[in-house]
């Protein structure tokens, strides 16, 4: 149940730093980017709920590391079947390891010790660990004191979600790139009836692009309502 990034093409084209919208998270984004490409940069722990962009950042970091000639792997610990400890130990050997859903190992003795060992090993080898979770490291109920201390030593950021006005601007700009005009009433309906995290919105925009092209119709509220009803 591990996920590696041997090739940038394994991941959607949007999951790169050039497709990251900073908002109030510019400092966090730059810190993650630097850690991905430079072994001398501080390790980073980013916190944010689902839809905050934390997974996008970790995968973008792996892409940037690969582009810089480093090897990289991404490991989502949440929802994993099987042993998280084995998964963590099995990811050894890369220059960059991005660990998502770190809060999922809280109270799992074997996984906590595995992450502690990985932390020390990567530090000794001059490699890089990047972390993400729903909440900051200090708020995770890690039992192993030394692991709590290690995670707390990373540079910490709490991601701030984009405001609706920023999401609307991005949606209009991305729609324009695709040759789609989104009226304000369409955006109003969309934001009232669909998930508001940017990744989900951009995925829907891709779906709208294909559907409107196939139907040779402009995007209106009835068209959007019918499309989502079918799904």
Q: What is the tens place of the pLDDT at every residue in 137-174?
A: 999 999 999 999 999 999 999 998 777 787 888 888 88
Counting the structural domains of the chain, the total is 2
Evaluate if residue 231 carries a pLDDT over 80. Answer: no
- Report d(CA 52, CA 70) in Å as an integer: 26
Report pLDDT digits (tens) over 9-40. Answer: 355 556 677 777 777 889 999 999 999 999 99
What residues make up the domain containing 193?
164-230
* Same domain, yes or no: 76 and 151: yes
Q: Write down which residue in 106, 127, 158 finishes a domain.
A: 158
- Report d(CA 64, CA 69) in Å as an integer: 9
* Same domain, yes or no: 40 and 133: yes
* Same domain, yes or no: 150 and 215: no
Using a pLDDT cut of 90, give the percent of the chain over it. 52
* Same domain, yes or no: 140 and 171: no
Report pLDDT digits (tens) over 74-133. Answer: 999 998 888 999 999 998 889 999 999 999 999 999 999 999 999 999 999 999 999 999
Structure confidence at residue 229 (pLDDT): 78
Task: Give me the mean pLDDT over the 200-215 stretch.
Answer: 83
* Same domain, yes or no: 14 and 79: yes
Confidence of residue 196 (pLDDT cuts 50, 70, 90): low
* Same domain, yes or no: 120 and 154: yes
Q: Token digits for 199? A: 């990744």
* Same domain, yes or no: 150 and 82: yes
Global pTM? 0.77
Q: Collapsing DSSP states into helix, strand and coil, what is residue 214?
A: helix
User: In angstroms, how far is CA 122 from the centroid of its own chain?
Assistant: 21
């Amino acid at each position: 149940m591990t996920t590696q990034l041997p090739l940038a093409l394994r991941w959607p084209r949007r999951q790169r730093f050039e497709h990251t919208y900073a908002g109030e998270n510019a400092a966090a984004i730059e810190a993650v980017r630097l850690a991905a490409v430079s072994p001398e940069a501080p390790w980073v722990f980013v916190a944010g709920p689902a839809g905050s962009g934390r997974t996008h950042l970790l995968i973008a970091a792996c892409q940037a590391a690969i582009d810089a000639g480093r090897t990289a792997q991404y490991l989502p610990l949440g929802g994993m079947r099987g042993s998280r400890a084995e998964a963590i130990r099995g990811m050894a050997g890369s220059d960059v390891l991005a660990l998502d859903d770190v809060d999922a190992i809280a109270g799992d003795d074997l996984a906590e010790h595995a992450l502690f060992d990985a932390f020390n090993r990567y530090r000794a080898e001059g490699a890089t660990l990047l972390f993400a979770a729903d909440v900051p490291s200090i708020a995770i109920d890690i039992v192993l004191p030394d692991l709590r201390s290690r995670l707390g030593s990373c540079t910490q950021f709490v991601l701030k979600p984009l405001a609706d006005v920023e999401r609307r601007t991005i949606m209009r700009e991305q729609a324009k790139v695709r040759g789609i005009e989104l009226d304000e009433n369409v955006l109003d309906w969309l934001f009232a009836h669909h998930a508001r995290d940017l990744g989900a919105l951009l995925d829907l925009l891709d779906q709208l692009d294909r559907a409107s092209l196939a139907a040779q119709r402009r995007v209106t509220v009835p068209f959007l309502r019918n499309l989502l009803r079918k799904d």
